[in-house]
A = this chain, B = another copy of it.
């Protein structure tokens, strides 16, 4: 069976404001990867999934820049959501598009804005997952072995070991766990039975559609309407009219936590969801003072500070510690590393304040 890619590229990554903007979202920022994260995501599939079998769901706003960024992908494979309605409708739409091409397709669902390396190990896990999805008719999640007691990720509690599957370590999923507190995260880490849920999934079209039918019937009905229009002149209009009425819910809450046939495959590669600015420190490393300086910089007594600025702009710091300073032509952000998650709230506040030109 053929393996298709469904890349979810609809997020803005507001936690990376002021670099990420509506017109230049996180996955199109070159700062976080060699090229852009979206290009990296596609390149990571090279040799495994052909470009014509790669589909991208993005937003109407990002459509032109995404098309330009990944000109190698057939234009009809890049489809905009009329509005963001979380991952279940997004995945549903993508699955419907691929099902039109191959109703038995195996699909790898991939976020466009994560960091993964090395590619070789990723592809090995992905191949194993495809094989498992086909043999088990299960919904395959990718579990990352935690390296620290993270409180920012959802966890997967693994259940029964699938000993017969030899291509990778695979387990039944015992339970999904929402972002834990520190104490619980430490317990998860110690037990060795928990994985980070990395948001990558592999399944066959019939498996995911029947799971959606069972657990999100209203989404299923909407997808039926959309499917009937695909390839016709009514496609765009139908998506535009139907999509806003689909339930706004994540695939995790809406389907995976309820479904019985959910498996987890152990992902043996380096993974980072690049959730917020401190991820840049993890990617780029820090100097002896703990500083990550991606700018022209002069400092006195500057420690554990992340600085990013536009070319030729000098950032000068005295006595900063644990601080993030991000400078762009029209906006500057100053936030302690410990509060980097709140950049999302800040962007919300900007929306409310009508500061549209900076979003």
Write the residues of chain A forming the contact surface with B, with a CB cutoff of 8 angstroms.
Answer: 17-18, 296, 298-300, 309, 312-320, 323, 325, 327, 330-336, 338-339, 342-343, 345-346, 349-350, 353, 355, 358
Task: Indicate if the CB atoms of A336 and B319 lie closer than 8 Å.
Answer: yes
Indicate which residue in B298, B309, B327, B342 contacts A318 across the interface (CB closer than 8 Å).
B342
Task: Determine whether the beta carbon of B349 is less than 8 Å from that of A298.
Answer: yes
- In order of increasing CB-CB distance, the 8 nearest A-B pairs are A318-B335, A314-B331, A316-B333, A319-B339, A314-B358, A317-B334, A315-B332, A318-B342
Q: Are A330's CB and B314's CB within 8 A?
A: yes
A313 engages B342 (CB within 8 Å): no
Residues in chain B near residue A296, CB distance under 8 A: 355
Q: How far is the CA of A327 from the CA of B315 in the complex (A)?
A: 9
**Would A335 and B317 be within 8 Å (CB), given that A298-B346, A298-B355 are in contact?**
yes
A28 to B211: give the CA distance in the assembly, Å: 71
Question: Which B residues are CB-close (under 8 A) to A313?
Answer: 330-332
What residues on B are CB-neighbors of A327 within 8 Å?
327, 332
Tell whether, in the assembled complex, residue A346 and residue B314 are in contact, meaning their CB atoms are under 8 Å apart.
no
Q: Are A331 and B316 in contact (CB under 8 A)?
A: yes
Interface centre among A296, A318, A323, A330 (most CB of B within 10 A): A318
Q: Which residues of B sit under 8 angstroms from A336, Cβ to Cβ?
A: 318-320
Q: Is the pair A332, B349 in contact by a Cβ cutoff of 8 Å?
A: no
